[in-house]
Amino acid sequence: MNHLLKKLTEGDQLMKDEMREVAQALFDEQISDSEIASVLTALRVRGESPDEIAAIVEVLREKAMTVQKTITGVMDNCGTGGDGSSSFNISTTSAFVLAGAGAKVAKHGNRSVSSKTGSADVLEELGISLDFTGEEVEKLLESNGIAFLFAPYVHPRLKRIMKVRKDLGVPTIFNLIGPLTNPVELETQFLGVYRRDMLMKMASVLNQLGRTRSIVVNGAGHMDEASLAGENHMVLLDKGDLIPFTLKPEDVGLSTYPNEAIRGGDAKENAEILLNVLNGQPGAYLDTVLLNAGIGLYSAGISSSIKDGVDRARESIESGRALEKLNYLIDYSKTRKQAMSS
């Protein structure tokens, strides 16, 4: 390890197998807190390569909660966070719309880190359990088309690293890799990043992780979601090809709104926003979800275009199917809690 730490601190890029060795040491607690801090700081200062990101993700997933690999055709839609927009829970709300439109969604998420309310906070407020087992995740994906995986429960090896991250107080590689560490074998993904300079890198990482098709987005105003405020920058991964493109809301028949129009609040407020959207209340919140779900459906290959995806997303809400997906998870969680307490 010493020679690899020396390479990192001297600004050298690690080969993928070297980064895997470093990652094994990180997660198996073979190195000290100060050495962990050195690794994270060195990567941040020099800039993380696709090989380094992919290597640390692969090792972390190997040590995560086991989910059966028999599940096929699964996607995730998740952002890195860190955009400072204080928006409502866009990807969480969109996940139910995606499921209502026929996607199979393993929604990976956490409590609030850089925003007011994380996906876990708002789902917990709605009554959804955060400790689904691997077997339950598989069951829910088959029966309901959507399940939630709570990152700290799924990745128990991260506790010590999270403490070091908090002590450092600066962004690290772990601010980027959260959406990549889903233990379910994903075929497709819609990934939001708060750094526009990372679009191609993250698309390359998704390719290394075996995604057949995905879209990475940095939204107008540098949001880690697609935004109605203007031009969204994206990269489509399609069978190994990386294709950059841009999209404005008017391109798919949606109105323009400033990012301030989609601000969220605490868990209770964001739960109300989520329910209002799934009940079809018109406005900036709904249109933002339609845009993001539409891109998600296109990234999964379910729709033929993003415009078609937006139309399918609208139908998912208007038919009540998106809300049914949410209510199924709430009812399932309530039943399992009652069974555990009896």
Hey, is 101 helix, strand or coil?
A: coil
- The CA-atom distances, in angstroms, between 211 and each of 149, 154, 188, 196 are 19, 20, 5, 21
312 appears as a binding residue in the annotation: no
| Lookup result for tokens 């390479």 | 7
Domains held by the chain: number: 2
82 appears as a binding residue in the annotation: yes
Shared-domain flag, residues 38 and 133: no
91 appears as a binding residue in the annotation: yes
CATH code of 33's domain: 1.20.970.10
341 appears as a binding residue in the annotation: no
89 appears as a binding residue in the annotation: yes
H or E, element range at 312: helix 306-318
Tell which of 12, 30, 47 closes a domain: 47
Shared-domain flag, residues 38 and 147: no
Nearest in space to 273 (alpha carbons), one of 84, 96, 88: 88
Q: Output DSSP code: residue 282.
A: -
pTM of full prediction above 0.75: yes
61 appears as a binding residue in the annotation: no
Q: Which two tokens stand for residue 193?
A: 């990043």
Could you report the per-residue pLDDT of 236-292, keeping only the tens digit for each? 999 999 999 999 999 999 999 999 999 999 999 999 999 999 999 999 999 999 999
Number of C-beta neighbours around residue 240 at 10 A: 8
90 appears as a binding residue in the annotation: yes
- Helical packing angle, 90-100 and 284-299, nearest 10°: 60
For residues 312 and 142, give the distance between their C-alpha atoms in angstroms, rounded to a whole number: 21
For residues 180 and 76, give the distance between their C-alpha atoms in angstroms, rounded to a whole number: 9
45 appears as a binding residue in the annotation: no
| Lookup result for tokens 């001297």 | 10
- The CA-atom distances, in angstroms, between 82 and each of 113, 158, 170, 194 are 8, 19, 11, 6
Nearest in space to 258 (alpha carbons), one of 80, 82, 84, 87: 87
Q: What is the pLDDT of residue 70?
A: 72
Residue 268 within a domain: yes
For residues 183 and 292, give the distance between their C-alpha atoms in angstroms, rounded to a whole number: 23
192 appears as a binding residue in the annotation: no
Could you report the per-residue pLDDT of 74-92, keeping only the tens digit for each? 999 988 877 778 899 999 9
107 appears as a binding residue in the annotation: yes
Task: State which residues of the chain have pLDDT below 50.
Answer: none
Domain that holds residue 12: 1-47
Shared-domain flag, residues 32 and 82: no
> How many angstroms from the chain centroid is the CA of residue 121?
15
What is the total residue count of the chain? 342
Radius of gyration of the chain (CA): 19
CB 87 within 8 A of CB 115: yes
CATH code of 168's domain: 3.40.1030.10
Shared-domain flag, residues 199 and 248: yes
Shared-domain flag, residues 179 and 220: yes
224 appears as a binding residue in the annotation: yes
